[in-house]
Amino acid sequence: MIDAPLVIEDAPLRAVWYAAWRFVLQRASAAVLALCVVVHLATIIYAVRHELTAAAIVARMHASAFWPAFYTIFVIAVAIHAPLGLRAIADEWLGLRGRATDAVLALIAVLLLGGGFYAVRSLTT
């Protein structure tokens, strides 16, 4: 049970670097999303209170270059934030970790980017 002392080797620097940057990206995308979601929640309430029809919303989306830019940033931030959040859940609650899991999460990121950009394009063109 009590064996010889464990030799603690430093983790490979690249792994540490990737991990630190995953954390930075998760928090940075969170900060971006905080702003985007506040705007999004505001537009939701505005649309609901003014009983905007979908056609009216689409018209407003076309009216300004702000909306495609805003939603593009929104989609990118989501595509970074959601897979990283799911990574922690997969690791801690499903016991899924390692290269294969990371590959699946990267795929999810790509799908979110694709689906999101397609939706934004449908909205604003």
- Does the protein bind another protein through residue 8 (CB under 8 A)? yes
- Does the protein bind another protein through residue 76 (CB under 8 A)? no
The distance of closest approach from Cβ of residue 106 to another protein in the complex, given in angstroms and rounded to an integer, is 15
Whether residue 79 contacts residue 112, with contact meaning beta carbons closer than 8 Å, is answered with yes
Interatomic CA distance for residues 82 and 75, integer angstroms: 10
Tokens of 77: 């931030």
Candidate residues 43, 65, 68, 92; the one interacting with another protein per rule CB under 8 A: 92
Q: Is 57 exposed, middle or buried (0-12, 13-18, 19+ CB in 10 A)?
A: middle
Interatomic CA distance for residues 21 and 61, integer angstroms: 34
DSSP, collapsed to helix, strand or coil, labels residue 32 as: helix
- Does the protein bind another protein through residue 119 (CB under 8 A)? yes
- Does the protein bind another protein through residue 100 (CB under 8 A)? no
Candidate residues 73, 90, 96, 123; the one interacting with another protein per rule CB under 8 A: 123
The angle at the Cα of 69, spanning 22 to 65, to the nearest 5 degrees, equals: 175
Q: Which residues contact another protein by CB under 8 A?
A: 1-2, 6, 8, 10-11, 13, 15-17, 19-24, 27, 30-31, 33-34, 37-38, 40-41, 44-45, 48-49, 53-55, 58, 78, 82, 85-86, 88-89, 91-93, 111-112, 115-116, 118-119, 121-123
